[in-house]
Structure 1
Amino acid sequence: MNDNACLLFVYGTLLVKHNQFAAYLQRHCTFISKGRTRGTLYDVGEYPGAIIDDSGGYVYGSIYSIYKPDEVLPILDEYEGISPNDLQPHEYVRLLTPVETDSGLTNCWVYAYNWPVDGLKIIDGGDYLGYKAF
């Protein structure tokens, strides 16, 4: 990957203002727009997990432009538990995923949940911030 801008879609704790990694994201990225991607959002406990699929639902979040992805993504990967030092299978995977905006579709990196969702509560409406009402 080079230092060209890339896009990241975030839907969970990276949107929470008092989260130190959300603050890191704000310092190293530029907000582009709100967006949504097809899938189902689950309450994993202290954070959500999105399963990207064509189930008919949507996961809502924000799109950010990362100008130095070679520096920023490894830090976010570590936060999300997918660094090379983290045990397999990772709880999340980082995927390029189509995200809908008012301007159309764009491909973004997204941290998708990678563990079984049996017994997890679905977050109706796919909006984590609305669900948690921070």
Structure 2
Amino acid sequence: MHSLPARHLFVYGTLRRGCANAEATWLAEVALWIGTAQVAGRLYHVAGYPGLVPDARGLMVRGDLFRLPHGPAGETILARLDAYEECAADCPAPHEYARIILPVQTQDGTVDAWTYVYRHSTAGLDLVVGGDFLRDALPPPR
């Protein structure tokens, strides 16, 4: 296996800390949470989960930044998450997401981080105004 070009992972939806699903719990156990961070882009509400489209025009998407372990352990984490995001090589194409490296802003500066970006059309999808899926995508209280 080759070394990872980025040792960080930025997540903005169902993999964030505090989400009540097995993959988010597992990620919090196997990777080091660095803190909250943000990336330039637009966040859409897809179908109970979000899709990030990178966009350098000023909108920001909030999420969590993790540091991945060195070597095969980090690659194993990414392989499992690729399967979760259905963008692994053995998943049926066309893939809804792609894992790419984006610049992520933290309180301490900018780092390059693996990020799952949405690849399908956003026509008809609602924008998550405010850019924070956990805070802004919830329906308003009645």
Match of 1:56 in 2: 58
Partner of 1:103: 108
- CA drift at 1:3: 7.1
Q: Which amino acid is 2:11 matched to?
A: V
Partners of 2:92 and 2:126 in 1: CA distance: 25
**1:73 corresponding residue in structure 2:** 78
Offset of residue 69 of structure 1: 1.4
Gaps of 5+ in 1: none
Q: Equivalent residue for 1:121? A: 126
Q: Is the 8 A contact 1:10 1:61 kept in 2?
A: yes
**Offset, 1:132:** 3.9
Alpha-carbon distance in 1 for matches of 2:75, 2:10 = 17
The answer (yes or no) to whether the contact 1:10–1:62 under 8 Å persists in 2 is yes
Runs of 4+ aligned structure 1 residues displaced above 4 Å come to none
Q: Which residue of 2 aligns with 1:90?
A: 95
Give the structure with the higher percent helix: 1
Higher strand share: 1
* Cα distance in 1 for residues equivalent to 2:111 and 2:6: 13
2:34–2:65 CA contact under 8 A, matched in 1? yes
The unaligned stretches of length 5 or more in structure 2 are none
For residues 5 and 106 of structure 1, do their structure 2 counterparts lie closer, same or farther at Cα, with a shift above 3 Å needed?
Answer: closer
